[in-house]
Structure 1
């Protein structure tokens, strides 16, 4: 009987240890999740951008290929596609090339209308407008 009581106490201590250790592990996951949310919110806090000058001074990802003074060129692409039932698909978008060293931005605004004829062939009408 004494042996049975000792076994139960050892098993209960082991189970209690697992529960305590598991709670600590769960807190680490919650902390990591909170850190990811915080970083994501920090990244999105700058939008909407009212002035492109804010982006020229923004610090981006660097690797060993970049010199310390080189800020690089950012390419920003945004596109929206709309297709109502039975109609052609219309795409509108803009591509901006931001040279952060010279503080010059160029790019183009584009429209694209994609239609399908009776034989199932796809036709595309593209137009581009420069952005300076």
Structure 2
């Protein structure tokens, strides 16, 4: 009788162990593909966005879709503003900034922009030297 109780206890422990291990391995396989697919989707989204750079032709911008809300007409592609600036300060000299702004009208497929030079002195008074250069 005691032998049967020990055998039943041993079998139930083995079954319980197998059940717990089976549930654990199923949860791992169920979670990993979901996380992997999310990560893959994020990587795919970033690569889709970044594959277009560097731009060799401005006409590539005209076909891109941006954010749209109710204020846009159906055929209105909008105007994009691209701005870039760099600041340099050699030792013992005045801080100088150089930058540009480019307006890309996607409806008329034209681009217009200007170049900006600024000097910032020690007393933080800005002296702007704006120079406008139209580009088409």
TM-score (norm 2): 0.76
Indicate the residue corresponding to 1:50 in structure 2: 56
| 1:57 to partner: Cα distance | 2.1
Counterparts of 1:15 and 1:85 in 2: how far apart (Å)? 66
After superposition, residues 44-83 of structure 1 pair within 5 angstroms as: 44-83=50-89
Q: Deviations over 1:63-115 (max 9, x none)?
A: 33322201011111112223344443322211111121122222221122223
Contiguous gaps of at least 5 residues in structure 1: none
- Counterparts in 2 of 1:83 and 1:41: CA distance versus 1, 3 Å: farther
Distance in 2 (CA, whole Å) between partners of 1:40 and 1:9 is 47
Supply the distance in 1 between the matched residues of 2:91 and 2:26 (Cα, whole angstroms).
57
Greater fraction strand: 1
User: Could you tell me which residue of structure 1 aligns to residue 114 of structure 2?
Assistant: 108
Larger Rg: 2
CA distance in 2, matches of 1:85, 1:34: 47
Q: Deviations over 1:7-66 (max 9, x none)?
A: 452244234323322233122222222221222122122222222122122222223332
Across the aligned residues of Structure 1 and Structure 2, the Cα RMSD in angstroms comes to: 2.2
Moved over 3 A (4+): 83-88
